[in-house]
Amino acid sequence: PRAAVTPTATAGSAPPRTSAPPAPAPKSSPTATEKTDQYGTVVDAVDRAPDPNARPAALPRRPESGITSTGGPKAVMQHRGDRVTLTGRGYVLVRWQISPGSRPGALVMPSWTGLRGRLFHVASGGSRRMDDPLPGAPNGYATGMGGPDIGHAVLPPGTQQMWQNEYFYVDGTVTLTQNERGCDYGLTVFPTNRDAVVEDIDQGPPQGAIRYGLVRDTGTDGAPVPQYVTRATPADPATVPQRSRV
State pLDDT tens for residues 203-235: 999 999 999 999 999 999 999 999 999 999 999
In a domain, residue 116? The reply is: yes
In a domain, residue 1? The reply is: no
Residue 163 confidence (pLDDT):
99
Residue 213 confidence (pLDDT):
99
- Percent of all residues in the chain with a pLDDT value above 90, rounded to a whole number: 85
Average pLDDT for 23-29? 47
In a domain, residue 65? The reply is: yes
Is the CB of residue 169 less than 8 Å from the CB of residue 127? no
Q: What is the pLDDT of residues 56-91, one digit of tens each?
A: 999 999 999 999 999 999 999 999 999 999 999 999
In a domain, residue 82? The reply is: yes
6 pLDDT above the threshold of 70: no
Average of per-residue pLDDT values in the chain: 90
- Give the other-Cβ count within 10 Å of 241's Cβ: 11
Interstrand relation of 105-106 and 151-154 (parallel, antiparallel or unpaired): parallel
- Which pLDDT band, with edges at 50, 70 and 90, does 5 fall under? very low
In a domain, residue 211? The reply is: yes
- Which pLDDT band, with edges at 50, 70 and 90, does 23 fall under? low
This prediction has a pTM of 0.85
10 pLDDT above the threshold of 90: no
Residue 203 gets which letter from DSSP? -
Residue 37 confidence (pLDDT):
77
Residue 215 confidence (pLDDT):
99
Domain that holds residue 40: 35-239
Q: What is the pLDDT of residues 159-208, one digit of tens each?
A: 999 999 999 999 999 999 999 999 999 999 999 999 999 999 999 999 99
Instruction: Provide the number of structural domains found in the chain.
Output: 1
Q: For 192, how many CA atoms within 13 A lie in the half-sphere containing its CB?
A: 24
In a domain, residue 28? The reply is: no
20 pLDDT above the threshold of 60: no
In the chain, count of helices (H) and strands (E)? 2, 10
Average pLDDT for 26-39? 53
In a domain, residue 24? The reply is: no
- Which pLDDT band, with edges at 50, 70 and 90, does 102 fall under? very high
Q: For 99, how many CA atoms within 13 A lie in the half-sphere containing its CB?
A: 11
1 pLDDT above the threshold of 80: no
Residue 141 confidence (pLDDT):
98
In a domain, residue 235? The reply is: yes
* C-alpha span between 72 and 85 (Å, rounded): 10
Residue 203 confidence (pLDDT):
98
* C-alpha span between 245 and 95 (Å, rounded): 24
